[in-house]
């Protein structure tokens, strides 16, 4: 009887946990596409959509899911050296690698992108040609464009890789890029060979055993990058860094990829971590640079190990040319939603950086887009679309498209092949410029550099219920046309200012999973919608700032 009663309780534990969270659990790490709670409608039910989705939803929300998943992950890891985590390849002795880097090492990654070496090399040549064109144009505005190839772990520690069949006939993308960049004179620095040479003499691991990204050793990579940049023509220079010897300490914190395996126990007992004291030698002869980094996750460790605020005036990261992290506080926006031209022109250096295996995707569309932004005015682009549309309109496959469909296709084609636009073709450096937009972008940057002016524009945007970028655009246009400025016309309104600050706070919270989890918890407790709790908490922060007198500073 007791056992049966216990059995019933046992079967109900997940449901009780789901409702009450009475057992504290270690949350799972990693990113999954969460299934939205399905809506029960007759159509959904009849077509089995509801049943399928609720099963998936249940698998993501049942009580005690976290420890239960860790149990099985631990079992497959310990027994079979296997993980369900996407893109992580377990090597020997607990070494973890990134799957695409492993494929690149064994020469099998090319076939995921191209049918032959020739096709791959042709695309590299095209991309590099556009990179050189972008560099040429940016030089006119005192900006240097360069590339940085971060090392791949499989190249540095190949002995721990799992057994794989290698294809020795394929081209290695970072090697070919390096070769062609050298030939065309595009400035770049490739860290791979140096790291391979250093691995046996370094007193610290160049990659952590359980992370596919570089960590501590990246200090030396970034230092080399800064030194290399200082040899280029730019006005702004990085100050000299003095890197102290490695300091060994212990930390319970799991390294990147190991965390994502979601195991119960650590892969190995070694908790050794490294850091260095870095001192910055002041340089009064040059101003510190503003840098725009476009690339992959190998930049993360710069935040963790380098005194970035002391060595750069500003830095912005365009992660995979997709998500923009502005400034040192990483204000997050989508790259496609920002005024890209003004951001590019605001930098002293534009650095495309990526680990070796990621160069198949170089430059994640940045070079094409930058070329268009810098050189092609709206009217020229429009004219080019028309020209191409006229060429294609009567061709088979296009003759049945509507005018809008045809123009959409032409636009897409030109954005992907900007060299089809007159003035950008061939090997010659472009002579055309998107002059009006460039001037406007420069004005935008001038406004942004003035804190009071910027605040006025933000308030104006808030009052007019338009986006900040639209307001900024309007002000830049007024500057361009010598019209009266918003800055001079706008009267300070406290209520608008507070509302604007509140929205800023909420916007900065939304991408933060920890804060949002807290907000969700509060919303659950107070039985209020999340948006209302966000408003309340932001108001609380504003009140606090008013009390402290920091809000209007």
Partner 1 sequence: MVFSSNVFLLYFMPAFFLVYFLMPRKIRNYVLLLASLIFYAWGAPEFIIQLIASTVANFFLVKWMCKTEKAGLKKLLCGLSIIIPIGLLLFYKYGNFTMENLNAILGLTGHAPLTWKRIMLPIGISFFSFQSVTYTLDTYRGVNKPMEKLTDFVLYITMFPQLIAGPIIRYCDVADQIRSRESTMDDRLQGFYRFVIGLCKKILIADVIGAQVDAILGPANFSLLDADQISNIFTKVANLDSTTAWIVSLAYTFQIYFDFAGYSDMAIGLGRIMGFKFPENFDNPYTSRSITEFWRRWHKTLGAFIMNYLYIPLGGNRKGKGRMYFNLWVCFLLSGLWHGASWNFVVWGALHGFFICADKLFLGNVMKKIGKVPSVILTFLTVNLIWVFFRVEDFGLAWLLIKRMFAFDFALLPFSANAQLYVTMIVADFFSFITLTKFGQKVEEKVYFNDFTNGQHIAVWIVAAFAFVFCVAALNASSFSPFIYFRF
Quick one: 176 or 300, whose CB is closer to partner 1? Answer: 300
Q: Which is nearer to partner 1, 177 or 214 (CB)?
A: 214
Q: Work out how close the CB of 149 gets to partner 1 at its nearest, in angstroms, rounded to a whole number.
A: 20
Find the shortest distance in angstroms from Cβ 274 to partner 1: 18
Omega of the bond prior to 310 within 30 degrees of 0, cis? no
**Cα separation, 351 vs 331, whole angstroms:** 19
For 350, phi then psi, to 5°, come to -115, 120
Q: Which is nearer to partner 1, 12 or 265 (CB)?
A: 12
Q: Compute the least distance from the CB of residue 432 to partner 1, in Å.
A: 36
Q: Closest distance between partner 1 and the C-beta of residue 19, in Å?
A: 12
What is the binding site for partner 1 (CB under 8 A)? Answer: 1, 3-4, 6-8, 10-12, 14-15, 28-32, 45-46, 48, 51, 54-56, 58-60, 62, 65, 68-69, 71-73, 75-76, 79-82, 84-88, 98, 163, 212, 256-257, 259-260, 262, 297, 300, 317, 319, 323, 325, 330, 332
* 234 neighbors 227 (Cβ within 8 angstroms): no
How far is 106 from 161, CA to CA, in rounded Å?
10
State the minimum distance, in angstroms, from the CB of residue 47 to partner 1.
8
Q: Which of 233, 263, 334, 283 is nearest to 88 (CA)?
A: 263
DSSP conformational letter for 549:
T
Output 86 or 122, the one with its CB closest to partner 1.
Answer: 86
b vs e for 157-180, b when ≥16 Cβ sit within 10 Å of the residue's Cβ?
beebbeeeeeeeebbbbbebbbeb
Q: 277: closest CA among 228, 317, 231, 310? A: 310
Residue with tokens 């959904």: 44
Q: Identify the CA nearest to 475 among candidates 453, 502, 507.
A: 453
Structure tokens at 153: 């772990």
Length of the chain: 553
Q: Which of 296, 293, 291 is nearest to 354 (CA)?
A: 296
Quick one: 260 or 388, whose CB is closer to partner 1?
Answer: 260
Name which of 80 and 548 has its Cβ closer to partner 1.
Answer: 80
Q: Output 141 or 300, the one with its CB closest to partner 1.
A: 300
Q: How far is the CB of 29 from partner 1 (least distance, A)?
A: 5
Please state the closest distance from residue 214 (CB atom) to partner 1, in A: 13
Task: Work out how close the CB of 152 gets to partner 1 at its nearest, in angstroms, rounded to a whole number.
Answer: 15
Distance CA 133, CA 130 (A): 5
Q: What single DSSP character describes residue 105?
A: H
CB closer to partner 1 out of 65 and 290: 65
Q: How far apart are CA 133 and CA 287, in angstroms?
A: 27
Work out how close the CB of 59 gets to partner 1 at its nearest, in angstroms, rounded to a whole number: 5
Task: List Cβ neighbours of 434 (8 Å cut-off, separation of 6 or more).
Answer: 341, 373, 374, 375, 376, 377
Inter-residue contact 172 to 104 (CB < 8 Å): yes
Which token pair is 258?
């190991």
Min dist. Cβ of residue 51 to partner 1 (A): 6
Instruction: Give, in degrees to the nearest 5, the angle at Cα 307 between 306 and 310.
Output: 140
The CB-of-297 to partner 1 minimum distance in angstroms stands at: 6
Name the residue nearer to partner 1 (CB basis): 14 or 246.
Answer: 14
Torsion of CA 489, 493, 498, 503, to 10 degrees: -40
**For residues 207 and 194, what is the distance between their CA atoms, to the nearest angstrom?**
14
The DSSP code sequence of 501-547 is HHHHHHHHHTT-HHHHHHHHHHHHHHT--HHHHHHHHHHHHHHHHHH
Instruction: Name which of 48 and 201 has its Cβ closer to partner 1.
Output: 48
Which residue lies nearer to partner 1 by CB, 303 or 431? 303
Determine the Cα–Cα distance for residues 129 and 181; give it in Å rounded to an integer.
10
Q: Which is nearer to partner 1, 85 or 120 (CB)?
A: 85
Least distance to partner 1, CB of residue 393, Å: 32
Nearest CA to 329 out of 344, 308, 346, 360 is that of 308
């Amino acid at each position: 009887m007791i056992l049966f009663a216990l059995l019933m309780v046992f079967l109900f534990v997940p449901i009780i946990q789901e409702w009450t969270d009475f057992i504290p659990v270690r949350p799972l790490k990693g990113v999954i596409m969460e299934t939205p709670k399905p809506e029960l409608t007759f159509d959904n039910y009849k077509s089995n959509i509801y049943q399928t989705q609720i099963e998936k939803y249940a698998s993501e929300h049942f009580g005690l899911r976290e420890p239960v998943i860790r149990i099985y992950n631990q079992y497959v890891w310990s027994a079979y050296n296997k993980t369900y985590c996407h893109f992580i390849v377990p090597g020997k002795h607990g070494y973890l690698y990134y799957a695409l880097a492993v494929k690149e090492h064994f020469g099998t990654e090319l076939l995921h992108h191209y049918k032959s070496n020739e096709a791959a090399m042709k695309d590299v040549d095209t991309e590099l040609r556009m990179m050189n064109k972008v560099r040429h144009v940016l030089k006119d505005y005192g900006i240097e464009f360069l590339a940085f190839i971060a090392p791949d772990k499989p190249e540095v520690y190949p002995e721990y890789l799992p057994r794989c069949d290698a294809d020795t006939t394929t081209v290695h993308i970072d090697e070919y890029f390096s070769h062609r960049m050298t030939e065309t004179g595009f400035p770049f620095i490739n860290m791979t060979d140096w790291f391979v040479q250093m691995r046996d003499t370094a007193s610290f691991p160049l990659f952590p055993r359980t992370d596919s990204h570089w960590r501590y050793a990246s200090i030396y990579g970034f230092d080399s990058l800064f030194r290399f940049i200082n040899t280029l023509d730019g006005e702004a220079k990085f100050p000299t860094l003095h890197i102290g010897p490695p300091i060994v300490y212990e930390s319970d914190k799991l390294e990147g990829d190991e965390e994502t395996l979601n195991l119960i126990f650590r892969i190995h007992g070694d908790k050794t971590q490294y850091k260095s004291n870095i001192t910055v030698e002041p340089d009064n002869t040059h101003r510190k640079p503003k840098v725009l980094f476009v690339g992959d996750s190998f930049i993360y460790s710069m935040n963790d190990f380098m005194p970035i605020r002391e060595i750069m005036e500003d830095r912005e990261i365009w992660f995979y040319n997709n998500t923009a992290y502005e400034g040192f506080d990483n204000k997050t926006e989508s790259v496609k939603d920002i005024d890209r031209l003004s951001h590019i022109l605001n930098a002293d250096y534009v650095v495309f950086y990526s680990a070796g295996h990621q160069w198949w995707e170089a430059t994640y569309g940045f070079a094409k887009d930058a070329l268009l932004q810098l050189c092609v005015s709206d009217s020229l682009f429009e004219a080019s679309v028309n020209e191409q549309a006229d060429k294609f309109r009567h061709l088979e496959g296009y003759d049945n498209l509507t005018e809008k469909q045809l123009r959409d296709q032409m636009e897409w084609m030109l954005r992907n092949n900007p060299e089809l636009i007159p003035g950008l073709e061939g090997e010659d450096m472009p002579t055309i410029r998107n002059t009006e937009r460039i001037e406007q972008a420069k004005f935008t940057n001038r406004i942004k550099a003035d804190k009071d002016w910027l605040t006025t524009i933000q308030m104006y945007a808030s009052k007019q219920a338009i986006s900040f970028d639209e307001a900024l655009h309007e002000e830049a246009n007024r500057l361009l046309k010598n019209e009266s400025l918003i800055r001079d016309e706008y009267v300070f309104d406290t209520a608008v200012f507070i509302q604007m600050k509140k929205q800023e706070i909420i916007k900065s919270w939304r991408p933060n999973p920890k804060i949002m989890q807290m907000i969700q918890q509060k919303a659950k407790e107070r039985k209020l919608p999340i948006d209302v709790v966000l408003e309340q908490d932001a108001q609380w922060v504003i009140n606090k700032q008013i009390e402290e007198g920091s809000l209007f500073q």
